[in-house]
Amino acid sequence: MSYILVLGLIVSSSFARVDLAGACCRATRSVVQVKSCGRVGSGVVVDKGSVITSISSVGPCDTASVSYGDKSYSALVAVRDTSAGVAVLKLDSLDLPPLQLGNSDSLKVSQIILAVQVDAYRALEGDPRPLCTLGVVSGLEREAGGLKGLILTDAPMVPGGSGSALLDMKGRLVGVLMFGDPRICCSYAVPVGRIRRILKR
């Protein structure tokens, strides 16, 4: 197997054949901005009527506003899982494609991942398009912020990025970003395996 240098990382030549741009482009159509109780965060479309986000993005309110570009939708906060820090929003009509769910159990430390999130500041300035950043899995089964079993990644979080998507290189959802830790320049995400169980409720 041959190796090449990409963004300062030594990776196998097979990495060069992965369509990261395509994965990011597809995922940006499934990541939305969430507003509720004066809070702003991100969310991920997981089926035609459901958006997954963080509890911190919705606060104690029972309703939320979900927006993508110039489109806005009303949503109900259907599920709050405090042990995971995750909320599920339900919408009557949502014409955005759901993001394919991946397998967080197969993640390995040093694996390359992508983060897709909506920058709240850029959205206020009139540019609500989701951003895509690159990182690696820095740790697994971590505990932080009162949550357990988290993915640790060096993919940076933007303001308003809580509730956004963590993807594998094929653009499949492997986690939902919760919060960052500026002391170690890393972010924490709830693995999609746990998200799957929450969505079955």
Can you tell me the distance from the alpha carbon of 196 to that of 31, in angstroms, rounded to the nearest whole number?
A: 17
Domains of the chain: 31-90 (2.40.10.10), 104-199 (2.40.10.10)
Q: How crowded is residue 73: how many other Cβ atoms within 10 Å of its Cβ?
A: 18
Say if residue 12's pLDDT is above 90: no
pLDDT digits (tens, 9 = 90+) for 156-196: 899 999 999 999 999 999 999 999 988 888 999 999 999 99
**pLDDT confidence of 48, banded at 50, 70, 90?**
confident
* pTM exceeding the 0.75 threshold for the entire prediction: yes
Say if residue 7's pLDDT is above 60: no
Say if residue 141's pLDDT is above 50: yes
CB 72 within 8 A of CB 91: no
